[in-house]
Chains A and B, each alone.
Chain A
Amino acid sequence: MSEHGNWAEWVYIGVVCALLVWVGAEAWNVERLVEHVPADAEVIKVTGQQWFWSFEHEDGTKEIGELHVEKGKAYKFEVTSKDVIHSFNIHDYVVLIDAVPGRINIVWFVPDEVGEHEIQCREYCGLLHYNMRAKLYVEEST
């Protein structure tokens, strides 16, 4: 082919690889932090079905379409589904995990401000997927 050196390409590939290593290491570190559930987190059982969410607190209280939690407490969601695959998502708190029938998936968070947030389904689940929503109420701790 043509007469030219290859050093520029090697430098370029080196830079690309270094960047990729950086991305991988950073992502690995953050994932490690957010995956570890605190030991004292309170369990909330989340069940998705076509096309609504239901919740069960540790003390047995059940809620449908809305979820009340207290500020400053850690919550561990045990997410499952009764029919097809859904995806449990509180976008404002970056909480997301699939609700898979026959499996229990885990995700956790600590709400830190009083307020209302949207809960939605992010995995296509049929006719009313677009409207499979619920509300999260974060309340002052008692």
Chain B
Amino acid sequence: MVLELQKPRPIWQIMFSTHHTDVGLLYLIMSLAFFFMGGVLALFIRIELFLPGPQIIADSMTFNRMFTVHGTTLIFLFILPFASAVGNYFVPIMVRYKDMAYPKLNAIAFWMLPPAGALVWLGFADFTWYAQPPYSVISAPAPAADMWIFGLKIIGISQVLGSINFIVTILKCKHPDLPLSKMPLMAWSFLSSSLIVIVAIPTFAAALLMLLTDRMGMSGFFDPNVGGDPIAYSHLFWFTFHPEVYVLVIPAIGMMYEIIPRFSRKPIFSHSSGVFAFIMLAMVSFASWAHHMYATGMSFTEKTVFMVGTLAAVPASAMHVFNFLATMWGGRIKFATPMMWSVGGIALFFAAGAGGVVNSAMPLDFITHDSYWVVGHFHLFVMGTIAFGSFGFAYYMFPYVTGRMYHEKLGQVHFVLSFVGAILVFFTQHILGLFGMPRRVYDYPPFPEWIAMNQIITMGAVLLAIGAAIWLGNFIYSMGRGKPADMEDPFKLGGKYYYPYQQKTPHHD
């Protein structure tokens, strides 16, 4: 692997480079920057909800804009680009090719994201990341809403281009000596998530265009006043974004497949069941989208179909958990920071999955729908599983990217604070939902239970924030002044099996 930060180079050489590790580095830096920006918004939201009545945010409009941009940022500008960063670094190495299949396209796909992020942040729209019409058509203020639509449009194109690149790299540029069945599971995870993107995203792209023409008054696809149907948008949206959930989670599981065997000093328990589970997830992800819409007045038959489709995704996820635990069984596990994040992520993945099974049961929707239960549930996935896997992998990559070691103890403190914080925040949010608090509210009536639970959640959020601050300090300090890493074996595991170490790709600039 190339040590981008150790070998001094002028910054424009990295910015205008098309080499996969350089583009990966750009993705990495941008995604982490957006993680901290979105996290700050979350902190504002939590402080506002600490007590009933206005606290630090002046009015509900500002609050609504904040949670909209919080969600949009963390999903589209943190999680997805982070996965692209990891894929850019590792997929070419894993398939033993000198670069991504289309290096220029790769750089273009990255450089579409900063303008898209700027559109989302400068617009600061208020209609939630879901942009549900008719609200987004007749009520949401311009130009924020239109800027959001264009921003998401650009992100969608960038994602499709990136996915095409991954698929071609893996299927066409793979070394002839390496059969698909022997390809590392992390490369498999990128193959399956990219395939989902290719199939899912065009639907949302179409829905965004329809939303835009509706807003301009040229059409009425989603406006019931002129004969449109707002529920049609929900179908189009969730047809893309339920599979998209798996696009987010599959690379994170792939990262854990990289870390867990390495630190357990054992090969993965079953490579073939991992591959099978990835393919299963990619297919079944398309069978469950309307479970987000039980409350929109669906018929009993429709609900039953989508409940079965949702439950069908569970065995594949359960196979991954089994694979992880069976790999750890009988190993000699080194609990360095990346391994701690992965194991914590698996624990929360199980909790999120169990909550998901309960969610899919149709009648329970009357209790949980659009309440804080849902907020807790999907945050357990995106923060507890996906971000935990990603953070662990960020620590794992750190020596390869910078040539230096991060501070191990501080990394572990970051993990412990985040794990405790995540449990406090997201488990309490489940209970708060059972007490009936709706999501996306600026203020709430002073029921004593609601107040108490909101305060617990806010304190957990502060723990998460402290952990993230420690992380930022740790990485910035170690980048320049950390101990030089032993590039043969930075984590002192003893194996001689390191992709990055085997990498001999020269720059082609």
Which residues of A come within 8 Å of B, CB atoms?
Answer: 1-2, 4, 6, 8-9, 12-13, 16-17, 20, 23-24, 26-28, 30-32, 34-35, 50, 83-85, 87, 89, 91-92, 94-98, 100-103, 105-106, 118, 120-131, 133
A125 to B60, CA, bound (A): 12
CB distance from B376 to the nearest CB of A (A): 15
Establish whether residues B224 and A28, one from each chain, have CB atoms under 8 Å apart when the complex forms.
no
Residues on the B chain within 8 Å of A91, using CB: 367, 435-436
Beta-carbon contact of A103 and B297 below 8 Å: yes
B438 proximity list for chain A (CB < 8 A): 89, 120-122, 129-130
- A9 → chain B closest CB, angstroms: 6
B435 neighbours in A (Cβ, 8 Å): 91
Partner of A84, one of B126, B134, B231, B360: B134
Counting CB contacts under 8 A, is B473 at the interface? no
Cα A59 to Cα B489 in complex, Å, equals 80
Specify which chain B residues have a CB less than 8 angstroms from the CB of A9 in the assembled complex.
Answer: 270, 273, 319, 322, 326
Q: In the complex the two chains form, is A24's CB within 8 Å of B311's CB?
A: yes
- Please, how many angstroms separate the alpha-carbon atoms of A27 and B362 in the complex? 6
Q: In whole angstroms, what is the CA distance A127 to B295 when docked? A: 22
Q: A16-B314, A128-B60, A130-B442 are in contact. Are A87 and B370 (CB under 8 A)?
A: yes
Known contacts A24-B308, A27-B362; is A125 also within 8 Å of B135 by CB?
Answer: yes
How far apart sit A23 and B361, CA to CA, in the bound complex (Å)?
7
A124, B132: Cβ atoms closer than 8 Å: yes
Do residues A85 and B230 form an inter-chain contact, with CB atoms below 8 A? yes
A8 to B443, CA, bound (A): 50
0 or 1 for each of B113-157: is its CB under 8 Å from A? (1 = yes):
000000000000011101010110011000000000000000000
Question: What residues of chain A lie closer than 8 Å to B371, measured between beta carbons?
Answer: 122
> Which residue of chain B is the closest to A27 with respect to CB atoms?
B361
- What is the CA–CA distance of A33 and B134 in the complex, to the nearest angstrom? 32
Contact indicator per residue, chain B 261-303, by CB within 8 Å of chain A (1) or not (0): 0000011111111000000000000000000000111001001
Bound: A8/B436 CA distance, A: 41
User: Chain A residues near B326 (CB, 8 Å)?
Assistant: 8-9
A108 to B315, CA, bound (A): 35
Chain B facing A: main interface SS:
helix
Say if the beta carbon of B498 comes within 8 Å of chain A: no
Q: Cα distance A102–B145 when bound, in Å?
A: 24
Across the interface, which residues of A come within 8 angstroms of B445, CB to CB?
118, 133
**Are B230 and A100 touching (Cβ within 8 A)?**
yes
Q: Is B364's CB under 8 angstroms from A27's CB?
A: yes
**Closest approach, in angstroms, between the C-beta of B148 and any C-beta of chain A?**
15
**Chain B residues within an 8 Å CB radius of A4:** 269
Over the window 364-391 of chain B, the binary record of Cβ atoms lying under 8 Å from chain A Cβ atoms (1 yes, 0 no) is 1111011100000000000000000000
> Could you list some 18 contacts between A and B, CB below 8 A?
A9-B270, A17-B315, A20-B315, A23-B311, A23-B357, A27-B361, A31-B304, A34-B366, A101-B224, A102-B230, A105-B296, A118-B445, A122-B438, A124-B127, A124-B135, A126-B139, A127-B64, A129-B64
Q: Find out whether the CB atom of B297 lies under 8 angstroms from the CB atom of A97.
A: yes
CB-CB nearest in chain B for A2 = B267
The residue on A at minimum CB distance from B308 is A24
Contact A31 B300 (CB under 8 A): yes
- Closest Cβ neighbor of A50 among chain B residues: B139
Is the C-beta of B441 less than 8 angstroms from some C-beta in chain A? yes
Select which of A105, A106, A123, A130 is within 8 A of B370 by beta carbon: A123
- Among A6, A35, A101, which residue has the most Cβ atoms of chain B within 10 A? A101
- A118–B220 Cα distance when bound, in Å, is 35
Chain B residue nearest to A104 (CB atoms) is B297
